[in-house]
Amino acid sequence: MNKQELLKDYKRQEDKICLSQVLDKIEFSKTRNKIETTDFLDMYQISLVENFLKKIKFTEYKLYGGYEDAERKILLIYPEKYNEEMLKKNYSKIIKIIRIVLDEEEKGKYSHRNYLGGIVKLGLKREKVGDILVSDDGADIIVKEEFSEILKEQLATLTRFKNSQINIEEIDKIKKKEIKVEKIKIIVPSLRLDNIVSDLAKTSRNKAATIINQERVFVNGQNETKLSKQIKMGDIITIRGKGRFIVKGADGTTRSGRTVLIIEKYV
């Protein structure tokens, strides 16, 4: 089946471009007998690509973002002869870390937005950069290897990092992300996705529907656009721009029959 036939069901031009590039990588990997990689994919693209690869029954791939639970990941396409160990040996050739260690006076001042804002301000390509793991001392920025030197040099030109130490590190030196959660309770009329998104995003049902239709909501890593999808205990809901949430359990019902849900929000 040719490329046009494989992509005929996809209406959005950006989806077609993304999947066309994936098909090219598959072809290159076969003809060159080597690992081929994409740039970093966001959550929507990851869901799109995974579903597409399942549809065409292609299995020689790995999604890797530098650490477990990474949100942004690179797609690695590899020859059939590769096993998991052979693939892992190539990770350090594909991804590096830019480690920023802040000056004593700057520690604790910067959030994820400050680091990402610096990258955007420099006009650097976002797709070359993966997750940004922030601590009080600074940040580990996951980046494609071929882009690491450029990013390191450009970040050093920003006023906010003029007194910082900026180095390139191997991916296995990454500082593990400390997961912090905040327990909250929400009251919903049913376990429909739009009801839950409305409460989690602190907005109206109509606006929640818009957020879902804009493909900004993911359930267990998969993009979800069905407003009436029933959410289950243990589901992880990610709302782009609002955060990630785990539905931990129910805590009874109100007199009006609404369900009280216990939610853990990543902070």
Report the largest interatomic distance among the alpha carbons of the chain, rounded to a whole angstrom. 66
CATH number of 93-173: 3.30.70.330
Lowest mean per-residue pLDDT among 45-49, 65-69, 108-112, 176-180: 176-180
Residue whose C-alpha is closest to residue 246's, from 208, 200, 206:
200
CA–CA separation, 178 and 248 (whole Å): 20
Q: pLDDT tens for residues 132-188? A: 999 889 999 999 999 999 999 999 999 989 999 999 999 999 987 767 789 999 999
CA–CA separation, 32 and 81 (whole Å): 13
Mean pLDDT of 194-199: 96
**What confidence score (pLDDT) does residue 252 get?**
92
CA–CA separation, 63 and 95 (whole Å): 12
In what side-by-side order are the strands of the sheet with 36-41? 36-41, 73-77, 61-64
Residue whose C-alpha is closest to residue 95's, from 120, 72, 124, 123:
72
- The structural architecture, per CATH, of the domain 3-89 is 2-Layer Sandwich (3.30)
Confidence band of 2 (pLDDT split at 50, 70, 90): confident
Confidence band of 1 (pLDDT split at 50, 70, 90): low
- Amino acid identity, position 115: Y
The mean of the pLDDT values for the chain is 93
Q: Does domain 181-266 have CATH number 3.30.70.270?
A: no
Confidence band of 4 (pLDDT split at 50, 70, 90): confident
CA–CA separation, 156 and 114 (whole Å): 14
**What confidence score (pLDDT) does residue 261 get?**
96
CA 133-135-141 angle, to 5 degrees, is 30
Domain residue extents for the chain: 3-89, 93-173, 181-266
Kindly state the percentage of the chain with pLDDT values over 90.
78
What's the Cα-to-Cα distance from 262 to each of 170, 195, 258, rounded to whole Å? Answer: 39, 14, 13
